[in-house]
Structure 1
């Protein structure tokens, strides 16, 4: 069982991301873990903006280590900001960030997944932002979420989510190369913080929009596509 694999890897390791809101029909019935992420606003494509935003004051430390053309779209204050996310475990941190709100419904549709993810010792999460899900027909996405509620870790959704997660907390240097995911397959990460970074599963290649975002137990790389894991 993949859930057993998650708890074996890196102590309490888990699978995936966090999602909510722009799933239309399904968005209202996905209860977000520990936060009201279902009501978080959806992104208006802000991840294409210029260089990272280094806030003055207490957010500067967390923001300083991030990179990518979309970092300036991250909220500059509150729980969804760099400084706010670093205080929370990854599922909670992502659910507080409105740019990742489409993800919460998927995670919370699988019973216990958010708890497992928050309890993991160390993770790296490649998190598709809201607009990445626009490429998936709404009917198909809603169907995956409903199947996740019914089948849990045996669902296709669970496998897709686990396909976006590594069982170690990797910075931009450590993450480069061929990496095994918690779904048991492989991602190839290329590039660096200066020139840009891509993540590929052999079928889909995503750009890192904002990378090296720290949370209490994981490093998050926001990406512009959903990695399907389908060869």
Structure 2
């Protein structure tokens, strides 16, 4: 009888440790050590419980999230090359003045920047936002007027300076914003649903990042408002030395 009672007691102790394993109460403390030493299933169960904890971090990596949030958005982004020159990955490693020349839909703007002599000054600027008129935007201007603008370095510099503001602006910044441009005038931005407006222009591809700037491709060339760029804010030398009346006396986009 005594032997049977002893056998039942040992069996009861074994069952209690097994139950504790299943309930997860072995995870720390002396009880866990005893359970691992006493119950044979321990080597099989312990890795199952502990291993996922060490492997969960790659699935929640903040790097992947940041990369996704930095991707350009908008219907016009589909026209960007998916790889090589002009692709978002390549543009991110280039200064903005150089990057503009590699985006197929911005070839007219790239030519304008060269004619105005501002490519290197754009490349050397730090943390700016460029509202970049697409080729279609320039095509809205009558050809004879556009030719005059492209031939007038002073007017061209003033117009381009009006498309640049300090700081890298995010889509959130553009939801309801008012910004002083490097030309000295002001632009206003707004959002309606998924559409962003810059004055009267619509953003067709936004948040395109280069090494030193964030670019928003727009469908209309902006008309400069009255303003005088200061030497400390303008990346170009031409607008800073020109009189305020320059945009008025020179051709401007219609």
* Short-chain TM bin: 0.5 to 0.7
1:209-220 matched pairs, under 5 angstroms: 209-220=204-215
Aligned 8 A contact 1:62 1:214 in 2: no
For 1:70, what is the secondary structure of its paired residue?
helix
Runs of 4+ in structure 1 over 2 Å off? 60-65
Matches within 5 A, 1:141-180: 141-148=146-153, 155-175=154-174, 176-180=176-180
- 2:155 & 2:100 partners in 1: Cα distance? 21
The aligned counterpart of 1:196 is 195
Deviations 1:71-125 (A, max 9, x none): 11111111201111111010111111111001112111123x1111000011100
Q: Structure 2 residue aligned with 1:94, among 95, 100, 103?
A: 100
Partner of 1:50: none
Deviation at 1:64, TM superposition (A): 5.3
TM-score by length of 2: 0.59
Displacement of 1:198 in angstroms is 0.4
Match of residue 122 from structure 1: 127
Q: Secondary structure at the match of 1:83?
A: helix
Calculate the TM-score normalised by the size of structure 1.
0.65
> CA–CA distance in 2 between the matches of 1:217 and 1:134?
28
Q: Which residue of 2 is the match for residue 7 of structure 1?
A: none
Cα distance in 2, alignment partners of residues 77 and 138 from structure 1: 33
SS of structure 2 residue aligned to 1:173? helix
Secondary structure of 1:99's counterpart equals helix
Alignment of 1:139 with 2:139, yes or no, is no
Identify, as 1 or 2, the structure richer in helix: 2
Instruction: Tell me how large the CA RMSD over aligned residues is.
Output: 2.1
Between the two structures, name the one with larger relative contact order (CA 8 Å, sep ≥ 6): 1
Confirm or deny: 8 A CA contact 1:91 1:118 kept in the other structure.
yes
Indicate if the aligned counterparts of 1:101 and 1:130 stay in contact, CA closer than 8 A.
yes
Residue 69 of structure 1 corresponds to which residue in structure 2? 75
Larger Rg over CA atoms:
2
Deviations, residues 42-94 of structure 1 (Å, cap 9, x unaligned): xxxxxxxxxxxxxxxxxx94785221121111111112011111110101111
- Deviation of 1:174 (Å): 2.4
Distance in 2 separating the partners of 1:145 and 1:83: 30
Displacement of 1:165 in angstroms is 0.6
Matches within 5 A, 1:42-81: 61=67, 65-81=71-87
Equivalent pairs, count: 161
Q: State whether residues 186 and 225 of structure 2, in contact with CA within 8 Å, keep that contact through their aligned partners in structure 1.
A: no
